[in-house]
Structure 1
Amino acid sequence: MKRAGILAFALWVCSGFSQATELAFLSLSDLQQVKQQLAQHRAASPTLAAWQQLQREAQQALKHPDPSVIDKGLLPPGGSKHDYLSLSAYWWPDASQPAGLPWLRRDGVVNPASKNDQSDGVRLARFSADVQALTLAWYFSGEQRYADKAQSLVRHWFIDPASRMNPNLNFAQGVPGIADGRHTGVLDGRYFATRVVDALQLLRTSPGWQAADQQGVERWFRDYLHWLQHSPLAQQEAAAPNNHGSWYCTQLAGIAWYLGDDAAVRAMVTLARGKIDQQIRADGSQPYELARTRSFHYSYFNLQALTALAQLAQKSGNGDLWHYQNAQGGSLLAALAALAPYSDPVKPWPWKNRDRVSQRIIPLLSLADNSLHQTRWESAIARTDWTAFSGSARGAVEQAQRDTWLISLPYGQKKGQQ
């Protein structure tokens, strides 16, 4: 790197990020610490590996055309391609019927027809992942090309009249022959909160971001928040006792936080306590998730939602989910303690299951330690092998490593540097 480039990068690092007050699901202080470590070439090896992977992902994102819901092949039942459309993953045509209708459920068995460009499920996941990766790459490196591309993606998806998504999920996770859209489809929108909200917070201080951009995305999210709060489909999702209900709380709370609606955040924390009442036994088990054919995945997935909301509630002063205990003695911490031993892939999982990526538990344990200023799960974090994966598990492992070591840092490491 030339001397001028080194100087510019040093100024970028030293400038910090004073214009951003806080983030919803990420820690601004952790991001600042990691950025400094990368600049000073003293990052831990898992951090460096995660940074290199993020750079590769961001480089690929630079090459992707800006996606839009209008790109899909199928026309939503409402008649507008601006409406989001997805098909429920575990439903299949009925081979005993001439037209295959109505489709039948095969829990845990993914129908490839739900994972192609004819609908929007994969497109939304790719869009939100690209926005997050590009924004983080810009934050850590200071290279404007990443921010420029992230801004372009955001404008194309949320703002531009010709390509914007209508702010609803009326036709999400539909099942041919049964329903055009179902309440379970609200789950698809979780990425708007967990990936996009914090990216928008970071991007608002990037060069090229205009007041009109800010107004446009806030308008979209206000409309979408109203849909989450008032749509009959969304209200059914709010009542769900399993991971769907947890993710509804987390999604709505993250978007409400972004819009400055503390009352809505507090309401979701209260609702989440009810989910803990319904979901978690005294021994930390989660019966709704253990009943699934992918019981490991859904046990982790439910706690991913609840730990994210617990962090947001704590940071925003809207309640304490970490220490909440239901009448039976069940709690979020009990559920994490019950799941933690299975972060070791050698320990057998005793329930029916189709897949298992043990490393996925680690970011949840690290987040709990960070939020509670403890080192309870330091040994489990330290012994994690981030190179142990096969086939489709690679992306999940890389994401878990990023969540633990790049966009956050284990509390034991931070404490050791104090």
Structure 2
Amino acid sequence: MWKALHVAMVLGVLSLAGSCDRARSGPAADGEPTPPSASPRLLMIDGAHVSRVRDSLRRGEPQYREALAALEADAGRALALPPVSVTDEPVVPPSGDKHDYMSQAPYWWPDPSKPDGLPYVERDGERNPEIDRITDRQNLERLTRNVSTLGLAYYLTGREEFAEQLARFVRVWFLDEATRMNPHLEFAQGVPGVAEGRAAGIIESRFLPTIIDGVMLVEGSPAWTASDEEAFEEWMRSYLEWLLTSQKGRVQANRGNNQETWYRVQVVALALYTGETEAARTALLDGQAGIAGQFEPDGSQPRELSRTRAWDYSVFNLTAYMHLAALGERLDVDLWNFRTPTGSSLRQGVEYLVPFATGEEPFPHEQITEFRPSALHPVLRRAAVGFKEPRYRELAREIGGGTRRLELTLP
């Protein structure tokens, strides 16, 4: 579904032009802070809502005080943590370059019928704890949590120590020559005896847009300079080019399941951040067309329902589509109200899962881990905004799963 995006066009689109869709003022002198924006155009959280939260707190209103206190406590703990890097990895990647990201596929296990266990065999939905000996995936998730926490805490409080720690974390992972990650995932989700890395590993970089949000929230702080911003944006541009032109990226763009959807979320988010508007638009239109292949008219998702954790993966894919639909608003590509000729739509996808979350109907598909109705909560919160349907927010409250952090980032 990336047929419209030829490599020649991609290389033309991925120019060195600055961002054209971001809420950022003009360039500052090197070493000077980048001027802040009043309401940040964030990628994964609602920038307008975050701005309203800050205004409410400045007026002394009590609505968000408890949520802010919890956020500040989390940010305070992050201040005591050391930065992480791909070069911390105890296992050397197949390339021999410690700057290359590396991980192991979670659902593959040693073959008990082979003396050396090779090649590994797949057991869908069953996580092999062996994967934790390779630490890049865990460290990237840790980095994402800390950067998102520190960025939001800085934006809402103005406390410079939060921005300073965020900048330190980001420089170590992305910018400093001694510790930076190379902008590709050639060795993600490898399988012993099968592959050194797989296209499926691209799912692990779905956290990058959240990291970008954290960085955008500290724009205006002296801790994050124009030269930091330029280098960080260039890293993201390089990674976007790898997503669009690499063999693994091309495979991932046509998976027809949650992997494909999260790939598109990454492409759109990074393209918007780096100003590659046409690449973002193409990915959004492909995502719109992809609804026909991933959703039945009744809202079910056959590819996800065939998994051993059918509930989890149905919610996971729909979560990605909620993000994609919200990003589509930036370029007037309407995924919220798109409907295929046969009646498939994102709204029907939400409606299909609701009765299982509320307990009105038992979930009729395989779910080998705990069935958690509350996993649908963030989807419903986003759906309430995107579809302008208050009922979804009421349903979210009914099934539980809300967090104080969510109150700060979503209406």
Which residue of structure 2 aligns with residue 275 of structure 1? 290
Which residue of structure 2 aligns with residue 99 of structure 1? 116
Q: 1:352 aligns with which of 355, 362, 366?
A: 366
* Number of aligned residue pairs: 376
* Structure 1 residue 234 corresponds to structure 2 residue 253: no
Q: 2:362 & 2:65 partners in 1: Cα distance?
A: 31
Q: 1:124 & 1:291 partners in 2: Cα distance?
A: 29
Q: How does 1:213-228 map to 2 (within 5 A)?
A: 213-228=228-243
Which residue of structure 2 aligns with residue 408 of structure 1? 410
Between 216-225 and 48-57, the greater mean CA deviation after superposition: 48-57
Q: 1:136 aligns with which of 139, 146, 152?
A: 152
Q: How does 1:15-414 map to 2 (within 5 A)?
A: 18-19=37-38, 21-40=40-59, 42-44=61-63, 50-116=67-133, 118-193=134-209, 195-314=210-329, 316-344=330-358, 348-353=362-367, 354-386=369-401, 398=403, 402-403=405-406, 405-409=407-411
Change (3 A) 1:33 1:309: same
Q: 1:344 & 1:385 partners in 2: Cα distance?
A: 10
Change (3 A) 1:232 1:96: same
SS at match of 1:376: helix
Change (3 A) 1:344 1:295: same
Q: Percent identity?
A: 35
4+ residue runs over 6 A deviation: none
Q: 1:97 & 1:301 partners in 2: Cα distance?
A: 34
Displacement after TM superposition at 1:204 (Å): 2.2
Q: 2:346 & 2:167 partners in 1: Cα distance?
A: 36
Displacement after TM superposition at 1:19 (Å): 4.8
Structure 1: segments with no counterpart, 5+ residues:
1-15, 387-396, 410-418
Higher relative contact order (CA 8 A, sep 6+): 2
Displacement after TM superposition at 1:368 (Å): 2.0
Displacement after TM superposition at 1:98 (Å): 1.6
For residues 273-302 of structure 1, what are the alpha-carbon distances to aligned partners after superposition, in whole Å with 9 as ceiling and x for unaligned?
232111100110001111111111100100
For residues 190-241 of structure 1, what are the alpha-carbon distances to aligned partners after superposition, in whole Å with 9 as ceiling and x for unaligned?
1002x11211222222222111101110111111011001000111000100
SS at match of 2:188: strand
Structure 2 length-normalised TM: 0.87
Q: 2:313 & 2:85 partners in 1: Cα distance?
A: 29
Structure 1 length-normalised TM: 0.85
For residues 367-400 of structure 1, what are the alpha-carbon distances to aligned partners after superposition, in whole Å with 9 as ceiling and x for unaligned?
12213333131321333434xxxxxxxxxx64xx
Q: 1:43 & 1:309 partners in 2: Cα distance?
A: 33
Which residue of structure 2 aligns with residue 9 of structure 1? none
Structure 2: segments with no counterpart, 5+ residues:
1-34
| Contact in 1 for aligned 2:39/2:51 (Cα 8 Å) | no
* Residue identity in the other structure for 1:170: E
Displacement after TM superposition at 1:130 (Å): 0.9
SS at match of 1:173: strand
